[in-house]
Structure 1
């Protein structure tokens, strides 16, 4: 799938911005230029869906919709549907170079986007009509969000019963009542995807492919579960029977209780996996390559009783990944998927991954357990793999190293054949670049040699996650030249 190349992991949200969060605007285009100058061929991003409580991109309100926060306001000014004066009057301009303030975004961003909607009036009428015809999910999502706001943003299971269980007799009346609200949410998705695809076209034109990230599960409070409850293992009252997570591991002694409804694989099989096929077909329109989160869940998944306090008392349940991926082969000759095969991986998961020749992930931070055959040591990497210093769930490379004890640090230095830990980040990155892995993805923080303060997410914690932002002045020509030299020396071109 990959021709010995390299890329950088950076969430869109982490880009520099004068509006509190990274967008599809100027900074994104400049980052593409930085990637190009640095000899990179891939930009890996996190999921782009609209975030809910907790701000996690892995628990969006929709698996199809885009996060309205990423709509660039400067582009709307250029398109004459907003003015700088309106942004100021709506308190939408603020700058914090260190972190994202999601609470501020929640209270300010939709005010200014609603103003843009009114200003645009019918400017994009034909384009939006075409967008709706090409994206049948958008009306369902817009109706969901309209009803959610009508019900004080409560989870859909707490809505008025007639609205949580809409049918053909009531849906027409609701659509008439909420027409303006529905049109607003559709308008936002039109803007989001217009700006996103323009950015993607620019990136592809610069030789940069985008790696997207697809969460395996849908959030319980989402348009997807609300409208397609049969896809999930739920009872007749639409209450989940089992929810997702993983058992205790290195990240958490209580496991990770994600809380998402798990899939009803028997129902999926009976519908020829149409729901999943539609989802992946859509995702591969958005991205050049897809990282499929929690790949093990396509072989078997950890199901926990709904209402459990943690993920300790779950059980492994079968999934039908073989049949699903076989069905996908009918749509794609080459399904460009990276399998996130981390955690406790069984032989059957490896067999599933290898059967479809999906590259797995190799994480340097997992390599030092005293076993010279550890598969995460760079000298043990195979060609068909993607090498990472760490993922969005890991500490930064420098933060990880600083937290090792003296014995563990010595093991790392011995492996790197060096006695000093000066420039440790680049020594480690070089070991990945020189490995057999056909693709190397490095989080931007590791090139910048930033510590734990730049960590993206700490699993099983609430607050302080997903907020890190890169400072514009750190993306220098000197840094891109340094990275490009490493690319050339390792022949990742």
Structure 2
């Protein structure tokens, strides 16, 4: 469950009281892990996989009550704001318009007397924070336009032009730095609270970065961009049984030759940073390290793409030599070639198994996802953020697949379908078993987190207050103990 999905009176889940209450629920129910989506700032489309920065935290998750306790806000400045959302949905448009004015009031008070911890934080994180704060300031100055539409010296990241902006808009830049300081101050306290309760946090690193990001703007040499800083090729996936034209994601592709010459310094810095933010790191789209799908930058869809070779084990060997072995989960879903399977084996990372995939008989590989075929060294899921909920799947899947699942799982009570599928997961030999919060609550398709290749209505689900109660904790604890998965 993502932080955004926590209940909260302020339009979106935050790192405050409700987050700690959820950790308490996990402890009571005998759990060991809380997996979340990327915590980076979201951009157009509200997806945490399309962010302005691979290093920054999402300012929306900063808890306003904590800022009030620290003296930077007054209750009257935020408690009666209409966030234009329902208790079970996030309204990102309202957050964008109404959250930042409140945060600016708090930052003004904070900056009246700059603290040594803040200055230390800025120094230690200058390698990403300086560019990020400048990037966000420039986006505001350009009315939110993507960086490739800025004036030429700024678009090209020219030092003289950036120095001038840094002086002229010093306070605006400081605003974005303070938000990051507060974000990671609250994040570190939440993570420490979870760890003290025996809960490790599994985070997520997107494989690609957004084109409209500080990463592509400040480090354009790391991406396949032309002399005008336009993408030569972009990311996506080829046509398949679900899409006749494939999926056009539009992310800039990496210039792997440049990365190799630097001994993968940017990737190692990125992964090393996030392994300190989280206890365990899930790498999204792991197959991209073996080979990736390249689509011409001006193509209308993904049908004209071609497969290109990725860095393979060279990157992971360089990573281990530099930062040592890390706790990593590889998202190895989709069409897997023998070379992808070999890369997973050579890396030593556990892959993923999705139980909903086991019953999709249209796919020849569906049997790989049946529990009796799980290798012990894997992480098994009921579904991911890209799948329907269990109860939703039983109403939207093909009837023959539903019948297969009901027979395999011995299901006859529709109200118990989600528990039946979760029990099969817990009974498997998978090293770790992770369920979606929506499945634990038995929710339907209306609570699905994301439907790939669609716009609108994604990433908005929130749990209603009181959903994770003592009764549910007792039931989950009972099953967790029954299947030998208690802490």
TM-score under structure 2 normalisation?
0.96
Whether the aligned pair in 2 keeps the contact of 1:19 and 1:95 (CA below 8 Å) is: no
Of the three residues 254, 260, 271, the one matched with 1:269 is 260
- Residue 250 of structure 1 and its aligned partner are, at CA, apart by 5.2
Residues 272-293 of structure 1: CA deviation (Å, up to 9, x unaligned): 1001000000010111111100
- CA distance in structure 2 between the partners assigned to 1:68 and 1:373 by the alignment: 40
Unaligned runs of 5+ in 2: none
Aligned to 2:404: 411
* Aligned match of 1:7: none
- 1:123 Cα deviation after fit: 3.8
What secondary structure is seen at the aligned counterpart in 2 of 1:183?
helix
Distance 2:382 2:366 in 1: 18
| CA distances 1:166-199 after superposition (whole Å, capped 9, x unpaired) | 3233322221011111000001100100000100
Decide whether aligned partners of structure 1 residues 419 and 471 sit closer, same or farther in structure 2, where only a CA change above 3 A counts. Answer: closer
Can you list the C-alpha shifts for 1:254-313, whole angstroms capped at 9, x where unaligned? 322111100000000011100100000001011111110000100000011112222222
Matches of 1:175 and 1:276 in 2, distance apart? 27
**CA distance in structure 1 between the aligned counterparts of 2:430 and 2:212, rounded to whole angstroms:** 38
**Counterpart of 2:427?**
434
- Would the alpha carbon gap of residues 251 and 44 (structure 1) be closer, same or farther in structure 2, given more than 3 Å must change? farther
SS at match of 1:317: strand
Q: Distance in 1 between matches of 2:413 and 2:123?
A: 61
Q: Does the CA contact (< 8 Å) of 1:373 and 1:380 recur in 2?
A: no
8 Å contact from structure 1 (residues 328, 335) kept in 2: no
- Give the counterpart of 1:298 among 289, 297, 302: 289
Give the conservation status (yes or no) of the 8 Å contact 2:40–2:54.
Answer: yes
Q: 1:59-458 alignment to 2 at 5 Å?
A: 59-88=50-79, 91=81, 96-136=86-126, 137-249=128-240, 251-370=242-361, 374-458=367-451
Relative distance call for 1:249 and 1:15 in structure 2 (3 A) is farther
Matched, 1:32 2:23: yes
- How many aligned positions are there? 483
Q: CA deviation at 1:94?
A: 6.2
SS of residue matched to 1:375: helix
Distance 1:338 1:250 in 2: 27
Whether the aligned pair in 1 keeps the contact of 2:83 and 2:94 (CA below 8 Å) is no
How much does 1:92 deviate? 5.9
CA RMSD of aligned residues (A): 1.5
Alignment check: 8 A CA contact 1:456 1:465 kept = yes
Instruction: Indicate the SS of the match to 1:338.
Output: strand
Q: Which runs of 5+ in 1 are unaligned?
A: 1-9
C-alpha deviation, 1:75, in angstroms: 0.2
Aligned equivalents of 2:311 and 2:235: distance in 1? 16
Q: Offset at 1:419?
A: 4.8
For 1:419 and 1:26, locate their aligned partners in 2 and report how far apart those are by CA, in whole Å.
Answer: 39
Per-residue displacement from partner, 1:401-426 (whole Å, max 9, x unpaired)? 12234332221122123455451111
Q: Distance in 2 between matches of 1:284 and 1:15?
A: 23
**Which gives a bigger RCO, structure 1 or 2 (Cα 8 Å, sep 6+)?**
1
Aligned equivalents of 2:240, 2:101: Cα separation in 1:
43
TM-score calculated relative to the size of structure 1: 0.95
